[in-house]
Structure 1
Amino acid sequence: MLPAEIQDEIVDQLSGEPRVLKACALTCHHWARRAQRSLFRTVSILHGSHHKRVKSMLKAHPGLAQFVRVLSIGKPDPERAELDVEWPELLLMMDRVEELNVGTLNLFARGDVRERLKTYFPRVRMLRLLGTHSLQCDDFLQFLAAFRSLSLLHLSDQVQVTPPIGGSMQHLDVPPTTDSTLVSLTLRAASGSTAACLLYYLPLRTLRRLQLKFDKLDSSLDCNGLLRAAAPTVEELVLRLPSYQLLAIILQSPVPFARLRRLHLKDAGLEVSAVDYRYPAWMLSALSHIARWEMRANLREIVLSMPLPGTGPYQRPPEMVELPGAFADFPFPWVSLDMTMARLAQDNEDLTFTVNIRYPTLDKVKQTTLTDPDWGHSRLRESRMEEVRPHALRVFVGPHWDALAGFGGELCNTRPRFRTALA
């Protein structure tokens, strides 16, 4: 007999092979428990049939619920379903869930759901609202109040919170959050009422990572209060921007981002179906502005994420239709970008750069260089950045982008079907 520790290691190494794990579960009692931990660590309920199957499974084998750590719930259409009413009971049964992803769901299908939410879910640390949700302010706060140990909160573009009548939240009968230590927050910056609710309810003094998605130039006005509240403590800032002007507004905030160490700038072409032809050239202007920022010496990493110019979902603006060759005469300024990064790196010896490029024709993610011959006409003949600071630049290319992987997203080998189904 092999020692128990070695047997556990063997089964753990098969965590990505469900068919093999099922065979392991039939081998012996010890292997069965270990295999079940991997098989049921992640449970997804994205359809009515999934819901019925999970209910039957937990009724027959209630002990399996203790293995669930990641739970994703949602449905493909807005029609009312049993899951709208029964999701609190499911979550109570799986009382060790640490990560909860909620797709399209009627969170308050019946009034008694509010009463059941007074039972807290203390182990949930990561909460993502990914589907379409239109909530009243008091319902939204009541929902958040059920998760007292949140460290990461993600609100998608489809989350809309209706402010209370009169605009005041002082009368809301929602218990304050005292145990939460929110570290990461993601939301669409245009949701002004959502930002107001978060300011009123959450202890943003603990916030370390903030991700905002701006859709238009003046959308930062809706989040001025949130930015001021987060600025003193935020160490990582992820921004999806339509232009560099918004970055200038944020970095010139009256309350400076004194602790900012990591800045991640994302091009909208990574996550939306169509973008303006000028993207992602605005990143060069953004870096030029950072070079003039008085607190740039505090930065330790700048991340730039974009689709490879010429391969993204670019659209020709109407005013450019009559200009032949307009796109051919608008190459992406790789040389200027490379030179600007080199100047920033020479000015700050502790600064590193990470460049993520979505390249649809590739098979898998790989690390490369700006002078890689495989880039064809997009490659640089020589890189100033690689010459002066070769260890301060990492360039990754990959076929797809997962906006929810890590914090801020990352390149991946396959299209994230699971994320798409929830959204």
Structure 2
Amino acid sequence: MTTLLLPVAGGGTRAYTPRAEPARLTAGGPPLTSRTVFSAAHVVADPFADVSPDGPAAVDWDATLAFRRHLWSHGLGVAEAMDTAQRGMGLDWQGAAELIRRSAGEAKAAGGRIACGVGTDQLTVPATLPQVVRAYEEQLALVEEAGAQVILMASRALAAAAASPDDYLETYGHLLRQASEPVILHWLGPMFDPALEGYWGSADLDAATETFLAVIAAHPDKVDGIKVSLLDAGREVALRRRLPRGVRCYTGDDFHYPELIAGDDHGFSHALLGIFDPLGPLAAEAVRMLDTGDVTAFRGLLDPTVELSRHLFQAPTRYYKTGVVLLAWLAGHQTHFSMVGGLQSARSLPHLARAYELADGLGLFPDPSLAAARMRALLTVHGVPR
């Protein structure tokens, strides 16, 4: 295979020779048993739609749903309409509602597991607390009607409207009492969304943790689990050890997921991760190793992926979606590198080139020659000499 000239941070280029063969991964396999694993999935934009970056999202529904079938085929659950799907960063509530309806229907047909984000993004900030509650209720009803599990997402509108921790306790308590089935509570840190600074009523994470745990303690029968996205492994471990019996911890830590999923003598985390969008088949195979009790093989497969994940999720972390979609295009899951809201421009060319190099080194591309050809085309458009 011919070499590519990849731009590097600081200027200049260097030669890179792509690998000739993909990694050897099992196609599908038995259901995952030792951990519950969700991949937060991206949406595929319609590149032919005549839309503006601040207009409603135009989604390629066929390609978007095909990617979810790909994840289900490997035994992963799909976490739908989350921040990986550009929720609040190009995908508005109307688009998210349609995504939830379509994906939930597809999950029923495929026999796949699905959980969907419930938020308040139909509101404009500022909003009152009663308006926040009504917005949550509207989305909660839609997800339950679709037959999907509920993920109660952190709300920008609630963060802006809440005056104290008591406002969080009251709002979440009201919603949990209404939920017909146990939900997943989602704590998304400000590195993923700066508007969520001070969530749970305090910028002090220790104080915020106490409020979060108080919500769970008051309604343990209505909480299936929590998704923690703070990129702090020690804090997640301490938090999961304090959960009531039967309440799971789903790691959302894209920096430390192998060690958190593997666990320790006191427990482990399940997973709900954006990085499992590009890592889907490899992640599923790793968890199947864990199902047999082979922690060493599990870590052997997942540990080498952390460098790629940390690269994609580097600050400003909320733009990790750009690298995720780049890798989906290079892997052949979609025909283009376009994103809703024009977010394909959110990362630099050296950043994208490094993402390609790391993913290729891991053998993530089913057809390395296709990935190389597409990467070459992207480089050429940006003026990199052949």
Normalised TM-score (structure 2): 0.39
Q: Quick one: higher RCO (CA 8 Å, sep 6+), 1 or 2?
A: 2
Normalised TM-score (structure 1): 0.37
Pair member with larger Rg: 1
Decide which structure has greater strand share: 1
